[in-house]
Chain A
């Protein structure tokens, strides 16, 4: 006797939920950096003259260039998301590539900035720094830890954006997982999937020790079809990238522009 079981294929997707999850994560990041900003504010209140003197040693030109680089990278990632939503994959990839490039430029600038300071003997715990007043020591310790933590975020963001570049360039794939609560019914039966009108049926036998039937179907979306799975990933990566930009928007005037 032959019986036929229908299996349901469901696609679980909640873009709003995914974005909300990202926002909740961003709030934890906000709290992390707020802790450091509070520390900065309290010490600046106590050692305002020393903070001013120490800040004069930072290069305002490099700081301004890095601010513009990061702002522009925020623009390009926003444009990349918009392009992917409008189904212009090529423009999306160009804009994403530009974002990754700007991220790299920022990090290279930071490298030169830090190495110049270290070359002059100014780094946490250095002999040169220890001879200075306590306020200046605190300023540079905060400078290294805060821009360092921010730089780490830039690095992580860049890696995530590179990963997305690969995903989008490779084109989207979809996976379906089939669940059946009564798998024992499937023992000894055959499973058949219609591949397409020309390709016919794909048939496979189900063994005796079946616990779960999992069917993974991957296919490339048709031309003109919006790349939904990658849009949400890119959108969340973009949210993270903009947060990194916002942190720098505050770091820049607080460290480079103390008048």
Chain B
């Protein structure tokens, strides 16, 4: 959408937001239910996976990254990569000490 003017107003639609919200509510229910099931080791990963899915819904639709120009996606990706390096290197250090 980079050929658009910088000051244009984009609408997405009320329905899309309500649908996304329903998805978020269902995923919240899912995390609570799963936490009751005893699955050691993987439990944290499942919880984080659900949280990541919820976040991506919020980022893509509520924060409309999906509809933004490529520059925005690159900036966000840079942020995520930076944070992943922080977390990855710290884990690498702590686990193999």
Which residues of B are at the interface with A, using a C-beta cutoff of 8 A? Answer: 6-14, 17-18, 20-21, 24-25, 28, 31-32, 35-40, 43, 47-48, 50-51, 54-55, 58-59, 61-63, 68-69, 71-72, 75-76, 78-79, 82-83, 86-87, 90-91, 94-95
Contacts of B31 in A (CB 8 A): 252-253, 257
Assess A75 versus B21: contact at CB under 8 Å? Given A20-B75, A38-B86, A249-B54: yes
On whether the beta carbons of B28 and A41 are closer than 8 Å, the reply is: no
Contacts of A257 in B (CB 8 A): 31-32, 35, 47
Residue of A nearest to B39 (CB): A259
Q: What's the least CB distance linking A54 to chain B, in Å?
A: 15
On whether the beta carbons of A41 and B91 are closer than 8 Å, the reply is: yes
13 more A-B residue pairs beyond the given contacts A246-B59, A259-B40, with a C-beta to C-beta distance below 8 A: A20-B72, A27-B78, A27-B79, A27-B82, A31-B82, A68-B25, A68-B28, A82-B12, A228-B7, A246-B54, A257-B31, A259-B35, A259-B36
Distance A190 CA – B90 CA, assembled complex (angstroms): 68
On whether the beta carbons of A74 and B6 are closer than 8 Å, the reply is: no
On whether the beta carbons of A78 and B7 are closer than 8 Å, the reply is: no
Give the number of chain A interface residues (Cβ < 8 Å): 50
Assess A45 versus B35: contact at CB under 8 Å? Given A82-B12, A253-B47: no
A147 at interface, CB cutoff 8 A: no
Contacts of B17 in A (CB 8 A): 75, 78-79, 82
Distance A164 CA – B67 CA, assembled complex (angstroms): 24
- Report which of A41, A67, A228, A245 forms a contact with B58, defined as CB distance below 8 A: A245
Distance A60 CA – B95 CA, assembled complex (angstroms): 31
Contacts of A1 in B (CB 8 A): none
Q: What's the least CB distance linking B68 to chain A, in Å?
A: 8
Contacts of B13 in A (CB 8 A): 82
Residue of A nearest to B61 (CB): A78
A154 at interface, CB cutoff 8 A: no
On whether the beta carbons of A30 and B7 are closer than 8 Å, the reply is: no
On whether the beta carbons of A72 and B35 are closer than 8 Å, the reply is: no
Contacts of A231 in B (CB 8 A): 9
Q: What's the least CB distance linking A147 to chain B, in Å?
A: 16
A19 at interface, CB cutoff 8 A: yes
On whether the beta carbons of B9 and A78 are closer than 8 Å, the reply is: no
Assess A72 versus B79: contact at CB under 8 Å? Given A42-B94, A82-B14, A239-B63: no
Contacts of B94 in A (CB 8 A): 42, 45
Binary interface profile of A, 114-132, with partner B (CB < 8 Å = 1, else 0)?
0000000000000000000
Distance A133 CA – B40 CA, assembled complex (angstroms): 22
Interface-central residue, B17, B50, B75, by most chain A CB under 10 Å? B17
- Report which of A17, A38, A242 forms a contact with B63, defined as CB distance below 8 A: A242
Contacts of B25 in A (CB 8 A): 68, 71
Distance A13 CA – B9 CA, assembled complex (angstroms): 13
A110 at interface, CB cutoff 8 A: no
A23 at interface, CB cutoff 8 A: yes
